[in-house]
């Protein structure tokens, strides 16, 4: 009998290192004012788009197909406040995303494709956030923060597992592409001088080689 393997999956937006470092700063500020809590590791900071739960190979393939059918154009995402979900035994604290039509459209299109492929998703309103800590007891209050921004151009299918007791998230599939800005340096008049030096040097080497060959022959 063939054993069916299941993996716990979700689809998310992962961030570049600069944004991760800023989110870690928010997490550290929260931790300093807290008496207890389980705080997110830097590598686990992400923005969930859809939670899929336990999936077999067929469902994993269906999730990838749904991602491929979801149009993803680059858009700017802004984090501008800190909030919490009240819970018994400690609250869930998070960094909140500024209202963003492109993000909501992406999440809705992705959810629609996932449902077409047989996934049962939560029907509650999507509330985009990045979890900073769970079971947190703190004197901090929800508040606006200085805006943090990043251009989003890719989404990841993430596997969730515990490795040696540590909660670990790993990307197993990605759609989209990395957006790296092209920096065009303005013209510098010194370039002409440097170019002429190089040109003169090369011509002198060529002339020297020609004289050497002529003398040898």
* SS3 state at 22: helix
pLDDT at 66: 97
pLDDT at 184: 44
Of 202 and 38, the structure prediction assigns the larger pLDDT to 38
Report the DSSP pairing between strands 7-14 and 129-138: unpaired
Q: Closest by alpha carbon to 107, among 72, 60, 148, 140?
A: 72
pLDDT at 115: 96
* SS3 state at 146: strand
Token pair for 16: 């570049």
Does the pLDDT at position 58 exceed 70? yes
Q: What is the pLDDT of residues 89-139, one digit of tens each?
A: 899 999 999 999 999 999 999 999 999 999 999 888 999 999 999 999 999
DSSP 75: E
Average pLDDT, the chain: 88
Q: What is the pLDDT of residues 132-186, one digit of tens each?
A: 999 999 999 999 999 999 999 999 999 999 999 889 999 999 998 654 444 445 5
């Amino acid at each position: 009998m063939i054993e069916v393997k299941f993996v716990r999956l979700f689809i998310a937006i992962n961030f570049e290192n600069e944004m991760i470092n800023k989110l870690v700063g928010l997490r550290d500020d929260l931790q300093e004012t807290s008496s207890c809590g389980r705080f997110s590791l830097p590598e686990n900071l992400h923005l969930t788009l859809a939670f899929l739960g336990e999936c077999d190979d067929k469902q994993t393939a269906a999730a990838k197909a749904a991602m491929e059918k979801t149009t993803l154009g680059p858009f700017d995402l802004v984090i501008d406040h800190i909030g919490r979900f009240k819970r018994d035994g400690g609250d869930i604290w998070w960094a909140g995303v500024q209202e963003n039509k492109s993000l909501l459209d992406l999440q809705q299109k992705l959810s629609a494709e996932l449902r077409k492929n047989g996934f049962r998703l939560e029907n509650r309103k999507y509330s985009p956030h990045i979890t900073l800590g769970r079971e947190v007891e703190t004197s901090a209050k929800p508040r606006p923060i200085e805006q943090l921004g990043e251009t989003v151009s890719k989404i990841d299918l993430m596997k969730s597992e515990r490795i040696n007791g540590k909660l670990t998230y790993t990307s197993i599939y990605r759609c989209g592409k990395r957006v790296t800005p092209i920096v065009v340096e303005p013209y510098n008049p010194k370039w002409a001088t440097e170019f002429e030096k190089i040109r003169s040097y090369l011509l002198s080497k060529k002339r020297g080689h020609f004289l050497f060959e002529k003398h040898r022959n």
